[in-house]
Amino acid sequence: MALGVGGRALGMGGAFVAVANDVTSGYYNPAGLANINYPQLALMHSEQFGNLVNYDYGAVAIPFQDDMSFGLSVMRLGVDGIPDTRNALYDANGDGIIDIGDDRLDYSRITEFSNQDWAFYLTFAKRQTEDFYWGINAKIIRRDLAEFGATGIGFDVGAYYTPMENLFLGANLQDATTTLVAWSTGRNELVSPL
């Protein structure tokens, strides 16, 4: 969730909190989503390390009445096709102990797994006055690594203020309530506000 989205924002080095005014606002500053006047859609795909790591982003935003907007953003970061050799070691005598001569792989027993991180943002933004907007994200995080998985939920809040023409002030507090990520193994992680 720290890689960034959208060509315009990435071209600005991610310095987009105070000028977020399109469908990508759900990621940078949920309050900026109140700036849209018509439905918007964004799609992005990025490959890194020779197609080893794939990053996908999709978002849709819809204005409602004259002063509110709703949005949905989905992100996936994944490494697919990772060879799993945990059960592929050759045991010549079948005793379950790796002896001399057992140090080779049975290639027919190699399987594959993926490492995937998913994030779903549900965004609401409201134009409180002509100069002040606020917004909130509810986000669901899902992580999968082989047979293990984790799920988390968190909230972001943002504000957007224009005190005078051509002066834009923005604030975004990510993981405002501290995001809990609970693993299937019983381990829990906390993501502190940023």
The closest alpha carbon to 126, from 42, 2, 20, 35, belongs to 35
In a domain, 12, yes or no: no
The closest alpha carbon to 170, from 6, 20, 3, 67, belongs to 20
d(CA 24, CA 58): 9
The closest alpha carbon to 123, from 6, 18, 32, belongs to 32
Q: Is 175 left (phi over 0), alpha (psi -120 to 50) or beta?
A: left
pTM: 0.84
Question: How confident is the model at residue 107, as a pLDDT?
Answer: 80
In a domain, 116, yes or no: no
d(CA 74, CA 140): 10
Question: How confident is the model at residue 128, as a pLDDT?
Answer: 94
Question: How confident is the model at residue 98, as a pLDDT?
Answer: 66
Alpha carbon distances (Å) from 35 to 27, 28, 71, 120, 144? 14, 13, 12, 21, 35
Count up the domains in the chain and report the number.
1
| Domain containing residue 22 | 17-80+121-175
Give me the tens of pLDDT residue by residue for the chain, a chain 194 residues long: 778 898 888 888 888 999 999 999 999 999 999 999 999 999 999 998 888 899 999 999 999 988 999 999 999 999 988 888 877 777 666 666 666 666 677 788 888 888 999 999 999 999 999 999 999 999 999 999 888 999 999 999 999 999 998 899 999 999 998 888 999 999 998 888 87
SS3 content of the chain, % helix, strand, coil (to 5): 10, 55, 35
In a domain, 92, yes or no: no
Alpha helices in the chain (DSSP H): 7-11, 25-28
In a domain, 9, yes or no: no
In a domain, 169, yes or no: yes
The closest alpha carbon to 69, from 33, 17, 28, belongs to 33
In a domain, 113, yes or no: no
In a domain, 165, yes or no: yes
In a domain, 24, yes or no: yes
